[in-house]
């Protein structure tokens, strides 16, 4: 799991540094990889000291994501269950924060991570990120920074939910008898 996190963090850092004019990335038809996902875990990457100082916490981000997914009808597994069952796909949330007085530059990445077996050798097992979104923004000063990061994350989770629903339509509820 550490290797996966290191690879993801490296990938995000490279994207963050080499794409100063890119605000969002979209890959057409990647939502098909969301078909059949009934439950999902949530993993929040380690945050910088500066992020914590601004009031951005793993607990707040996790709660925001979990509540949003649950209200959309997507079951969220507990962290303990995710740790014991590597077959469960999970959303990895990464917040990268840079500062050059008086401007903060930040990126929020949300990616679906799922265990995969390589076709050429099924004994090789790894994790893939077949669906992901990243938004990079700038913000002047510390005031409102925490809210802006959380709003950006909310936007990305809404995008995930929209894509998930497009390939996993909700089943109509059966009416209860006697009512």
- Greater confidence (16 vs 119) lies with 119
Partnered with residue 24 across adjacent β-strands are: 135
Instruction: Please tell me the predicted confidence (pLDDT) of residue 171.
Output: 73
Instruction: Please tell me the predicted confidence (pLDDT) of residue 145.
Output: 95
Is the pLDDT score of 40 beyond 60? yes
**Domain limits of the chain?**
2-167
Which CATH number describes the domain made up of 2-167?
3.30.160
41 CB-near residues (< 8 Å, 6+ apart): 76, 77, 79, 81, 82, 88, 89, 90, 91
| CA 74 and chain centroid, separation | 14
CB 155 within 8 A of CB 136: no
Share of the chain above pLDDT 70, in %: 79
Is the pLDDT score of 8 beyond 80? no
- Greater confidence (111 vs 30) lies with 111
Q: pLDDT tens digits, residue range 127-148?
A: 999 999 999 999 999 999 999 9
Partnered with residue 105 across adjacent β-strands are: 98, 138
23 CB-near residues (< 8 Å, 6+ apart): 135, 136, 137
Is the pLDDT score of 9 beyond 90? no
| CA 134 and chain centroid, separation | 9
CA pair distance 113, 3, nearest whole angstrom: 13
For the chain, the average pLDDT equals 86
Instruction: Please tell me the predicted confidence (pLDDT) of residue 24.
Output: 46
C-alpha pair distances (Å), 75 with each of 57, 70, 93: 23, 6, 17
Instruction: Please tell me the predicted confidence (pLDDT) of residue 120.
Output: 92
CB 114 within 8 A of CB 130: yes
CB 41 within 8 A of CB 91: yes
DSSP state of 72: T
Give the side-chain half-sphere CA count within 13 A for 142: 7
Task: Report the DSSP pairing between strands 39-44 and 121-140.
Answer: unpaired
């Amino acid at each position: 799991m550490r290797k996966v996190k290191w690879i993801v963090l490296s990938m995000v850092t490279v994207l963050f540094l080499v794409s100063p004019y890119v605000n969002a990335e979209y890959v057409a038809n990647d939502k098909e990889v969301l078909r059949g996902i009934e439950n999902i875990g949530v993993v929040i990457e380690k945050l910088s000291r500066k992020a914590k100082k601004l009031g951005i916490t793993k607990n707040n981000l996790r709660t925001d994501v979990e509540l949003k997914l649950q209200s959309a009808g997507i079951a969220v597994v507990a962290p303990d269950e995710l740790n014991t069952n590597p077959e469960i796909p999970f959303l990895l949330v990464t917040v990268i924060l840079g500062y050059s007085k008086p401007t903060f530059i930040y990126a929020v990445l949300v990616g679906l991570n799922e265990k995969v077996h390589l076709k050429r050798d099924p004994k090789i097992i790894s994790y893939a990120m077949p669906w992901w979104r990243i938004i990079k923004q700038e913000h002047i000063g510390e005031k409102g920074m925490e809210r802006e990061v959380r709003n950006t994350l909310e936007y990305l989770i809404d995008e995930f939910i929209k894509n998930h629903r497009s390939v996993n339509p909700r089943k109509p509820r059966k009416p209860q008898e006697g009512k």
